[in-house]
Amino acid sequence: MRGEGKNLYHFAAPPDTRGMTLYEFLRGPLGLSRMMVSRLRREGGIYLNGEEVFTRTMVLPGDRVTIRLPPEDIGQVVPQPLPLEIIHEDGEILVVNKPPGQVVHPTRDYKAGTVANAVAYHWSVRGEPRRIRPVHRLDKNTSGLLVFAKNALVHHYLDRQRGKQGECMFSRYYLAAVRGHPPRSEGKIQGGIARHPEKQAFRIVSREGKPATTYYRTLRQWPDASLLLIKISTGRTHQIRVHLKHLGCPILGDTMYGEASPLIGRQALHAWRLTLRLPRLGLGRTFTAPLTTDLKELLRELSLGKG
């Protein structure tokens, strides 16, 4: 078989695959999209027990399904020697701790100086030129964990995990310091997220918006503020910030959905913990990112009764 090594992914067919075609196995248990299967057939390779076969071939329990990835498309992100705090790196993912104030990837307004530019430089120095594939996004002034996939299959695999609510396959936990106290110590916020009808950069809770769910639990309370543990099962733009405003507890320092704070110069939101499952090992991995200096100082000031 051509392409032995890191470009190959092997999967053992479980007992419940009896009666499935290879295409059904790829689409079902592996969760690949039609587009991904078509690309693999066209540019890479799909093998059953070491032989390249048609996807209508039947799969039996215990069969070995192998995917050979197509050649990598590098993309256009310019490498820049910027600071990059790496939490974890292996052959499939790179997990970094994004600082506040840095954009994830180049945009019309931020053409350079992004996390993606730093990642491109890091990989170029290692002799691993790759396409930059962030699995999810963080707002410019949100700090914490950010995951990059190292190939198209891993990106697709993790992206599909993010869409499976309630299965804890791709779970993201945030810490947020908010104004006031939630009505209950823990709860769930549900409400579609839509663009503001007049301010395109803003988001609002709307019945016409995309479905979104945010879970919260109160960790600490002060006279006029709270520290919340947040879990999201969807990842809409500004979701946590919009939902907490809707709850009546805007994030401290969030000038877009709340008000400025003398204690912190950005929204007090940190992507603290993340759990995901990788395709090669099929095992769950959990990563955490320490609090930034400004958030530690904020919590200290709140504990002293300030703010």
The residue whose two tokens read 């587009």 is 35
Convert 143-179 to b/e letters by CB count within 10 Å (16 or more is b): bbbbbbbbbbbbbbbbbbbbeeeeeebbbbbbbbbbb
Catalytic residue among 109, 139, 224, 294: 139
Q: Which of 97, 79, 81 is nearest to 89 (CA)?
A: 97
Q: Which residues contact 66 (CB under 8 A, 6 or more apart)?
A: 1, 8, 9, 10, 11, 45, 46, 47, 48, 50
Output the CA–CA distances (angstroms, integers) from residue 199 to 204, 243, 260, 307, in the order listed. 10, 17, 19, 30
SS3 159: helix
Residues 208/192, Cβ–Cβ less than 8 Å: yes
Whole-angstrom Cα distance, residue 49 to residue 35?
Answer: 23
Sign of the CA dihedral 292, 285, 4, 21?
A: negative
Q: Which of 140, 177, 174 is nearest to 301 (CA)?
A: 177
Angle at 278 between CA 120 and CA 285, to 5 degrees: 95
Residue 139: active-site member: yes
Amino acid at site 9: Y
User: What residues act catalytically?
Assistant: 139
